[in-house]
Amino acid sequence: MIKCNLSRLMGEKKLKISDVAKDTGINRGTITRLYHETAVRVDFEVLEKLCVYLECEVSDLLELDESNV
């Protein structure tokens, strides 16, 4: 299972979903699904925008959780 650390990263920077959506131009629903880990797919463009905005690597945002495989 792929784990999305968006909620943790946003929490560390004290960001709201609405802030990220407004600042990045990413659809609020997309961010919400990633934040709550209910997304079933994500575009590379979205990953790139989030990584640039949060100043992180893809590996900081997404990780493989092998305990649920």
**For residue range 7-55, what is the model confidence (pLDDT) as tens digits?**
999 999 999 999 999 999 999 999 999 999 999 999 999 999 999 999 9
Q: What is the CATH number of domain 2-59?
A: 1.10.260.40
Residue 62, beta-bridge partner list:
4
The ranges assigned to domains in the chain are 2-59
pLDDT at residue number 68: 66
pLDDT at residue number 44: 98
pLDDT at residue number 28: 98
pLDDT at residue number 67: 84
Q: Give yes or no for residue 69 having a pLDDT over 90.
A: no
User: Phi-psi bin for 14: left (phi > 0), alpha (psi -120 to 50), beta?
Assistant: left
> Any alpha helices (H) in 1-69, and if so which ranges?
6-12, 17-24, 28-35, 44-54, 58-61
